[in-house]
């Protein structure tokens, strides 16, 4: 890999309207731990990588990292 | 001198090492010695006791000393099995601790060249009211499921108990059972100087470097966080590739020998292979593929990174071995060679950075005599949760709801129990799992048992009872024991009272196995299970594999309307050491002596009855006594019964409470046709007809006490575990 | 009849699937994920397990294998394909079947003997079964919650693509409309979460699953 | 919950030095998918929630969302 590799962060979330079982499980656990006032918990995936060509990451998300039927994704290109 | 102490070696041991080496060991050598001379690898405090166990029998293919024991099941096939603990890692990180525990014991069986076909687990936790306990239970159960499920190995049985002494120190014991063609099994002995040492599987990182990290502490400055040892993470995907890869390598005859990497990593696996083969071995740490940069030679040598195996390969087979590893997308590296020096040499950058005589390193650790002393008082606290005056119906409901007795469906439904298509009897109502082995034209039954509570009351009787219970569980599905494995979970053996527990318990284990005529073919020892709040209950966990000639006859059907219920065996119940005594806070020292001969006679009668196919249901009486055993059978069948324990009371002269809730080895509840059960009498084993299966209530009469409870209420109590552990 | 059973790194149920195929009738062989040639098999099984560890998303990596590309061509030509559990996930990920499989609503793995009700789908796989017929088949998975956007779901249901439903009240994972298995529009590709390959012998619980494999033979394939 | 709830994003990653089995498996698969030039893939979790008192989220991470023994986390408080 060249030195030109850029750090890329991909945030993947369950799509709006789809039951997020993990998020719900977190919400259920909150009161017992004394955390009131926390709501709308959504649990997704975080993928971080270094890419020579960050422009191709959108394609990678479509094909592999996210399933557009059930997930939204957001790509952040981080400056070094 | 201070460093060796920080690493757990005594001054005397350190001197012995210097003596043997005729010099002081350097850092790499000290790290390696400290691990192989630890209790975990060196069995310092248990070796002498273990040598008293019966280990021989006509069916034994491999006994203690190998990665796992193995017994012949006929037609050229053997079953390999072993139980191992992962208590401490699970207390720290329950999910990964339990997962890597499963991964570790799988590799011991894989190392024999066997394909794992089943897992069992024996778990102990504190009371579920405690938030930390619930966290541990959730993590451990998920961790076991994650690893076994992902590997495609069914988890077919196990047990979970809850008691205060385990609150800070949970137990996670995992047992693996594997199947191999007997003549294709491999031993772990390195041989053939000039042969190469090949590391297969995962990369090596700073996982679980444990005490040895003390060695690096001088160099660990601020901001050197990355150098700190890390928790071991399990990767079942990698292990499944390693399994398939090893199976293929062995099938092609490419390996001289094979060994897993477990505790103490390369040090113990390479050392033990060299020791077993009476050869020398050289490891070049520079050839070990690393996950992290800048690892010191000692770190490479002691890393406990998971999913790695070590193989000895003849030089002209190496290319083919590499190809097979590449096919399975798993790691391959030649990391050393077998020598005729008798030494374990560690090389870095072309220079020897450590050199020890293999025998000193691997077998030189002294074995200590214990100094047992019987405790003068009950060393555990009792927390009453039930008033001793409670009426028997409420007592029964409380027992059924006790997490130790309540249904564990919540847990075992999270485990794949059927993958592999061998599981004839799944986890659930039956006492043992049954697996078919069509290759060998037979079937096996497997069970795992432990009763820390009873062993705490009396280690010899309690351990005899544990072995008998395991054998009884096998008998309930018509199985005859072929071999035993065990894991000895105890506190600090340097304390006389713990030494007494350990000594008496191992005597009980040996006595019971000898009486049953079944050899101990392997096991594991986990000592120092203590926290500032005290030691755990002494908990020998016994795993058994038995033979089932006809898997169609396992008496695992629910009882039916019109069946008769019988009590079989010399059952002589007492509340001493019972789950009820635990609930009422009245546990204390002492258990009645078990009737070893009589219990074994009952086991044989029940086994034959089950094998004849004439008995519908068989269930041994254990925690909670007869009332609980009957309730479990009634719940399972959705059918009640109307029984009278008068004949038991008359025979044993026990109290109604003892008859209902008392425990002891040697009791079975059988159900089937009246005449069939009646015929079981007259074989020197007590058989008492208790009454008919009928209705939707459990009705039990014991002297002036009666229990009448509807099935719905019984079921509600018995199925209360999810609510308790998920609260 | 020659059956091909795919094998990925991390597959678990491939040997059970081979066994089921042989019991149903015919010869069965493994197809390595790296092979882009199915070797002339008459039907393909994408078995259960944890291909590539189920990392990222169940089935997400396996779908890119050369063997799956060959399966896509085979399916496009009308060849019968069944994806079981992880295989169902792979078929959805690769677009051979509509929808997706989400983590169970309990977030836990579940394993139990389940009841499957045969749906309306017309497919060689269900040709030996009457709609409404109930099969006893093991259910075991961690990500089996069938999901499809409303319009797609509507198409699946009204288009007669539902092959199996969990019996009323026994939905183990939160699947929409209790869906346990679906077929593609043409009916030759079936995906289901429960495990018919583990229901081929009364000794180990049930032999109800054999009817699914035999259906393909009965439909005159191969 | 009051209207004062703040959107909080928590990024959870496997700690440095800890095996990242998912990241490794993904990285290994990429070349076959035609994605060369992508490296150092790390897969973690993304938790998003709305909290009345974002100061308590650190505590929540320690107790429930992350396992500090094996995971690092980073809390971002998003402006609305
Ligand atoms: N309690 C025991 N009973 C019988 N054999 C035992 C016991 N504990 C350990 N062993 C035997 O000692 C040997 C070393 O055990 P262990 O260090 O756990 O092996 P490994 O390093 O392969 O995991 C094994 O053969 C094991 O079966
Ligand atoms: Mg070993």
The domains located in chain A, with CATH, are 6-77 (3.30.1280.10)
Give domain C2-218's CATH architecture: 3-Layer(aba) Sandwich (3.40)
Q: Which residue in chain B has the smallest CA separation from C109?
A: B414
Under an 8 A CB cutoff, do C55 and D33 touch?
no
Give the count of Cβ contacts less than 8 A between chain B and D.
39
Q: What is the pLDDT, as a whole number, of residue D16?
A: 85
Q: Looking at CA atoms only, how far is residue A33 from chain D in angstroms?
A: 8
φ, ψ of residue B489 in degrees (nearest 5)? -100, 110
Average pLDDT score over residue span A62-77: 94
What are the two backbone dihedrals, phi and then psi, of residue B119, each rounded to the nearest 5 degrees? Answer: -125, 150
Would you tell me the crossing angle of helices B131-151 and B94-111 to the nearest 10 degrees? 40
Catalytic residues of B: 40, 86
pLDDT of residue B211: 54
pLDDT band for position B222 (cuts 50, 70, 90): very low
Task: Say if strands B564-568 and B308-313 run parallel, antiparallel, or are unpaired.
Answer: unpaired
Residues 6+ apart with CB under 8 A from D3: none
Give CA–CA dist B18/B644, Å, rounded.
Answer: 71
Is B376 exposed, middle or buried (CB count within 10 Å of its CB: 0-12, 13-18, 19+)? Answer: exposed
Interface mutation target, options B418, B434, B556, chain C, most CBs of C under 10 Å: B418
Q: Hey, are the CB atoms on B418 and C205 less than 8 Å from each other?
A: yes
Query: B636 is written with which tokens?
Result: 């399972």
d(CA B667, CA B688): 11
Cα B427 to Cα B353, B448, C205, distances in angstroms: 51, 12, 13
Q: Shortest CA distance to C59 belongs to which of C114, C10, C123, C109?
A: C10
Q: Quote the tokens at residue B655.
A: 């109290």
Beta-bridge partner residues of B444: B435, B547
Q: Which atom number of ligand 1 is nearest to the Cα of residue B68?
A: 27
- Test D15 with B235 for CB contact under 8 angstroms: no
Residue B108 CB less than 6 A away from ligand 1: yes
Q: Where are the alpha helices (DSSP H) in chain C?
A: 14-24, 66-76, 86-93, 150-158, 210-218
Residue B60 beta carbon below 6 angstroms from any ligand 1 atom: no
Does B522 contact ligand 1 (Cβ within 6 A)? yes
Nearest CB partner across the interface for C19, out of B419, B421, B424: B421
SS3 state at B245: helix
The answer, yes or no, to whether residue B220 has pLDDT greater than 70, is no
- Residue to mutate among A21, A34, A48, A53, with most D CBs inside 10 A, is A48
Of C93, C100, C103, the CB nearest to A22: C103
Mean predicted confidence (pLDDT) in B204-213? 75
- Residue B206 is nearest to which of D17, D21, D25, comparing CB atoms? D17
CB contact under 8 Å between B230 and D15, yes or no, is yes
pLDDT of residue D1: 45
D29 contact B CB<8A:
no
Centroid of ligand 1 to alpha carbon of B593 (angstroms): 29
Q: Of A16, A46, A53, which to mutate for an interface test with D (greatest number of D Cβ within 10 Å)? A: A46
| Residue with the two structure tokens 């092979």 | C35
Cα-flanking dihedrals φ and ψ of residue B243, to 5°? Answer: -60, -50
- Kindly tell me if the per-residue pLDDT of B217 is higher than 50: no
Q: Which atom of ligand 1 is nearest to the CA of B55?
A: 4
**Looking at CA atoms only, how far is residue C75 from chain B in angstroms?**
27
Taking only the tens place, the pLDDT of each residue in B373-428 is 999 999 999 989 999 889 999 999 999 999 999 999 999 999 999 999 999 999 98
C-alpha D20/C-alpha B93 separation (Å) is 16
Q: Look at B233 and D19 and tell me if their CB atoms are within 8 Å.
A: yes
- Give the pLDDT confidence score for residue B61 in this predicted structure: 97
Tokens of B139: 């993590």
Ligand 1 contact, B505 CB (< 6 A): no
Ligand 1 atom closest to the CA of B66, numbered from 1: 25
Task: Please work out whether the CB of residue B275 comes within 6 Å of at least one atom of ligand 1.
Answer: no
B221: pLDDT strictly greater than 50: no
- B358 near B345, Cβ under 8 Å? no
Angle at B616 between CA B614 and CA B622, to 5 degrees: 120
Closest CA to C80 of C42, C54, C108, C112: C42
CA B110 to centroid of ligand 2, rounded, Å: 9
Half-sphere exposure of B157 (CA within 13 A, CB side): 29
Count of helix runs (H) and strand runs (E) in chain B? 26, 28
> What residue ranges define each of the domains in chain B, with the CATH number in brackets?
555-727 (3.90.650.10)
B to C CB pairs, distance under 8 Å: 85
Chain B partners within 8 Å of D62 (Cβ)? none
Best substitution site from B50, B522, B545 to test ligand 1's pocket, by max atoms within 8 Å of Cβ?
B522
What are the pLDDT digits (tens) for B616-642?
999 999 999 999 999 999 999 999 999
- Beta-carbon separation of A69 and C56 below 8 A: no
CB spacing of A19 vs C105 below 8 angstroms: yes
Counting as contact any 3 or more CB pairs under 8 A, the partners of C are A, B, D
Q: pLDDT tens-digit profile of B17-43? A: 999 999 999 999 999 999 999 888 889
Active site residue C111: no
Q: Which of B155 and D19 is assigned the larger pLDDT?
A: B155
Which ligand places an atom closest to the C-alpha of B69?
A: 1
Q: Do C142 and B149 touch (CB under 8 A)?
A: yes
Burial (CB count within 10 angstroms: exposed 0-12, middle 13-18, buried 19+), residue A4: exposed
- Backbone φ and ψ for B523, nearest 5 degrees, come out as 165, -160
Helix axes of B496-516 and B459-476: crossing angle, nearest 10 degrees: 40
What's B292-347 look like in SS3?
CCCCCHHHHHHCCCCCEEEEEECHHHHHHHHHHHHHCCCCEEEEEEEECCCEEEEE
Which sign does the torsion angle of CA B260, B264, B269, B270 carry? positive
Q: What is the pLDDT of residues B292-320, one digit of tens each?
A: 889 999 999 999 999 999 999 999 999 99
Mean pLDDT across the stretch B104-113? Answer: 96
The DSSP bridge partners found for residue B160 are B123
Report the nearest-CA residue for atom 18 of ligand 1: B524
Q: Would you report the helix, strand and coil content of chain D in percent, each value rounded to 5?
A: 30, 40, 30
CB D13 within 8 A of CB D68: no
**B185 alpha carbon to ligand 2 midpoint, in Å?**
14
SS3 of residue B691 by DSSP: strand
Determine the length of chain B: 727
pLDDT band, residue B682 (cuts 50/70/90)? confident
Q: Is the pLDDT of residue A29 over 60?
A: yes
Ligand 1 lined by B121 (C-beta under 6 Å): no
Distance (Å, whole) CA A53 – CA D34: 13
**B653 contacts: CB under 8 Å, gap ≥ 6:** none
* Contact assignment for A52 to D63 by CB distance below 8 Å: no
H-helix or E-strand spanning residue D3: none
Atom 25, ligand 1: residue with shortest CA distance: B65
State if residue B67 touches ligand 1 by the CB under 6 angstroms criterion: yes
Which H or E element spans position A77? Answer: strand A71-78
| Strand (E) or helix (H) holding B166 | none
pLDDT, chain B, mean = 94
pLDDT at B322 over 60: yes
- Least Cα distance to C103 among A73, A70, A10 occurs for A70
Residue B638 contacts by C-beta under 8 Å, 6 or more apart in sequence?
Answer: B558, B696, B711
The CA distance from B355 to B552, in Å, is 58
Q: How many CB atoms lie within 10 A of CB B333?
A: 18
Q: Which residues contact B281 (CB under 8 A, 6 or more apart)?
A: B190, B197, B270, B271, B273, B274, B336, B337, B338, B339, B344, B345, B358
Query: For residue B231, what pLDDT is reported?
Result: 80
The pLDDT of residue C222 is: 58
List, in order, residues 6 or more apart from B153 with CB less than 8 Å away: B106, B116, B117, B118, B119, B176, B419, B420
Beta bridge partners of D77: D8
The secondary structure of C12-60, three-state, reads: CCHHHHHHHHHHHCCEEEEEECCCCCCCCCCEEEECCECHHHHCCCCCC
Q: Quick: pLDDT tens for D11-69.
A: 999 988 888 999 998 998 888 888 888 999 999 999 999 999 989 999 999 989 999 88
pTM of the model: 0.95
d(CA C116, CA C170): 9
| Ordered mean pLDDT values, 10 residues apiece, chain C (222 residues) | 97 97 97 96 97 93 94 98 98 97 96 97 97 98 97 97 98 98 98 98 96 93 64
Closest-lying ligand 1 atom to the alpha carbon of residue B188: 22
Which tokens is B658 given?
A: 């003892």
Question: Residue B8 CB: number of other CB atoms within 10 A?
Answer: 17
pLDDT exceeds cutoff 80 at B432: yes
pLDDT in tens, B533-589: 999 999 999 999 999 999 999 988 899 999 999 999 999 999 999 999 999 999 999
Q: CA–CA separation, B261 vs B242, rounded Å?
A: 12
Supply the pLDDT for residue B219.
45
pLDDT at A80: 60
C11: Cβ contacts below 8 Å, ≥ 6 apart: B152, C47, C48, C49, C50, C51, C86
* CA–CA dist B597, B603 (Å, integer): 10
- Of the partner residues A1, A11, A38, the one whose CB lies closest to the CB of residue D46: A11
User: Which residues 6+ apart lie within 8 Å of B29 measured at CB?
Assistant: B21, B354, B355, B356
Task: State how beta strands B280-284 and B60-62 pair.
Answer: unpaired
Chain segment B468-485, per-residue pLDDT in tens: 999 999 999 999 999 999
Nearest-angstrom CA–CA distance, C7 and C30: 6
B6: pLDDT confidence band, cut at 50, 70 and 90?
confident
In terms of DSSP bridges, do strands B308-313 and B351-357 run parallel, antiparallel, or are they unpaired? unpaired
- Rounded to whole angstroms, the Cα distance separating B265 from B259 reads 11
């Amino acid at each position: 890999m060249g030195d030109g590799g850029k750090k890329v962060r991909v945030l993947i979330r369950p799509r709006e309207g789809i039951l997020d079982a993990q998020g719900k499980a977190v919400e259920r656990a909150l009161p017992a731990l004394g955390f009131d006032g926390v709501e709308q918990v959504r649990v997704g995936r975080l993928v971080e990588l270094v890419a020579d060509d960050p422009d191709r990451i959108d394609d990678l998300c479509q094909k592999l990292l996210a399933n557009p039927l059930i997930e939204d994704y957001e790509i952040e290109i981080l400056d070094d | 001198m201070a460093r060796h102490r920080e690493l757990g070696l005594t001054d005397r041991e350190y001197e012995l090492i210097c003596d043997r080496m005729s010099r002081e060991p350097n850092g790499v050598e000290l790290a390696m010695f400290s691990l192989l001379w630890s209790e975990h690898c060196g069995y310092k405090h248990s070796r002498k006791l273990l040598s008293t166990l019966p280990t021989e029998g006509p069916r034994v293919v491999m006994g203690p000393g190998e990665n796992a024991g193995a017994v012949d099941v006929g037609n050229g096939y053997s079953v390999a099995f072993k139980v191992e603990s992962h208590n401490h890692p699970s207390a720290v990180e329950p999910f990964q601790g339990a997962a890597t525990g499963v991964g570790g014991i799988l590799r011991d069986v894989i190392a024999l060249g066997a394909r794992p076909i089943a897992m069992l687990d024996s778990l102990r936790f504190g009371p579920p009211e405690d938030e930390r306990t619930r966290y541990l239970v959730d993590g451990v159960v998920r961790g076991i499921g994650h690893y076994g499920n992902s590997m495609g190995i069914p988890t077919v049985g196990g047990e979970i108990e809850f008691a205060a002494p385990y609150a800070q120190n949970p137990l996670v014991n995992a047992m693996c059972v594997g199947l191999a063609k007997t003549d294709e099994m491999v031993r772990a002995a390195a041989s053939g100087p000039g042969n190469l040492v090949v590391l297969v599987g995962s990369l090596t990182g700073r996982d679980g470097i444990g005490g040895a990290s003390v060695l690096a502490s001088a160099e660990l400055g601020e901001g050197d966080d990355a150098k700190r040892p890390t928790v071991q993470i399990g990767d079942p995907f990698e292990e499944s590739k390693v399994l398939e890869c090893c199976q293929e390598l062995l099938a092609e005859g490419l390996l001289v020998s094979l060994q897993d990497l477990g505790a103490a990593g390369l040090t113990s696996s390479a050392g033990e292979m060299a020791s077993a083969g009476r050869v020398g071995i050289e490891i070049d740490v520079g050839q070990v593929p690393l996950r992290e940069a800048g690892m010191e030679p000692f770190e490479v040598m002691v890393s406990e990174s998971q999913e790695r195996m070590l193989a000895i390969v003849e030089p002209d087979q190496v290319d083919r071995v590499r190809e097979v590893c590449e096919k399975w997308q798993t790691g391959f590296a030649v990391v050393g060679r077998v020598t005729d020096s008798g030494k374990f040499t560690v090389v870095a950058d072309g220079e020897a950075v450590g050199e020890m005589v293999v025998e000193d390193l691997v077998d030189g650790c002294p074995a200590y005599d214990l100094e047992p002393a019987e405790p003068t008082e009950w060393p555990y606290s009792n927390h009453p949760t039930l008033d001793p005056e409670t009426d028997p119906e409420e007592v029964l409901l409380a027992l059924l709801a006790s997490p130790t007795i309540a249904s564990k469906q919540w847990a075992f439904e999270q485990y794949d129990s059927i993958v592999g298509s061998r599981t004839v009897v799944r986890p659930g109502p039956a006492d043992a799992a049954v697996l078919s082995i069509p290759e060998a034209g037979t079937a096996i039954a497997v069970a795992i048992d432990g009763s820390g509570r009873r062993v705490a009351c009396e280690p010899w009787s309690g351990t005899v009872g544990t072995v008998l219970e395991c054998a009884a569980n096998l008998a309930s599905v018509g199985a005859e024991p072929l071999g035993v494995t065990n894991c000895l979970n105890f506190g600090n053996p340097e304390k006389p009272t713990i030494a007494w527990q350990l000594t008496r318990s191992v005597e009980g284990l040996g006595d019971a196995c000898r009486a049953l005529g079944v050899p101990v073919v392997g096991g594991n020892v986990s000592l120092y299970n203590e926290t500032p709040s005290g030691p755990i209950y002494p908990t020998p966990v016994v795993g058994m594999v038995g033979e089932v000639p006809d898997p169609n006859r396992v008496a695992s059907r629910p009882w039916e309307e019109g069946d008769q219920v019988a009590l079989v065996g010399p059952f002589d119940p007492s509340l001493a050491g019972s789950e009820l005594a635990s609930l009422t806070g009245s546990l204390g020292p002492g258990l009645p002596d078990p009737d070893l001969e009589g219990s074994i006679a009952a086991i044989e009668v029940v086994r034959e009855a089950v094998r004849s196919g004439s008995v519908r249901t068989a269930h041994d009486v254990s925690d909670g006594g007869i009332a609980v055993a009957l309730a479990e059978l009634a719940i399972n069948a959705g059918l009640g019964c109307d029984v009278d324990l008068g004949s038991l009371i008359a025979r044993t002269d026990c109290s109604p409470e003892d008859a209902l809730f008392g425990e002891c080895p040697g009791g079975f509840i059988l159900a089937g046709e009246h005449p069939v059960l009646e015929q079981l009498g007259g074989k020197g084993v007590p058989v008492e007809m208790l009454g008919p299966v009928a209705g939707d209530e459990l009705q039990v009469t014991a002297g002036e006490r009666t229990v009448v409870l509807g099935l719905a209420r019984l079921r509600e109590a018995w199925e209360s575990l999810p609510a308790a552990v998920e609260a | 009849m020659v059956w091909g059973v795919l094998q990925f790194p991390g597959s678990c149920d491939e040997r059970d699937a081979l066994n089921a195929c042989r019991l149903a009738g015919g010869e069965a062989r493994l197809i390595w994920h790296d092979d882009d040639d199915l070797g002339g098999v008459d039907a393909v099984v994408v078995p259960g397990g944890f291909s590539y560890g189920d990392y990222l998303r169940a089935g997400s990596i396996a779908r890119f294998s050369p063997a799956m590309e060959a399966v896509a061509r085979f399916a496009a030509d009308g060849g019968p394909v069944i994806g079981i559990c992880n295989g169902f996930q792979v078929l959805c990920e690769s677009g051979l079947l509509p929808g997706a499989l989400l983590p169970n609503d309990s977030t836990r793995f579940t394993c139990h003997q389940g009841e499957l009700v045969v749906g309306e789908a017309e497919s060689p796989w269900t040709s030996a079964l009457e709609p409404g017929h109930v099969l006893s088949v093991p259910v075991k998975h961690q990500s089996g919650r069938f999901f499809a956007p409303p319009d797609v779901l509507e198409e699946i249901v009204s288009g007669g693509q539902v092959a199996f439903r969990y019996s009323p009240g026994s939905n183990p994972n939160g699947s929409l409309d209790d869906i346990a298995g679906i077929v593609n529009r043409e009916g030759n590709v079936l995906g289901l979460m429960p495990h018919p390959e583990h229901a081929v012998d009364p000794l180990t619980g049930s032999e109800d699953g054999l009817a699914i494999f035999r259906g393909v033979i009965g439909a005159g394939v191969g």
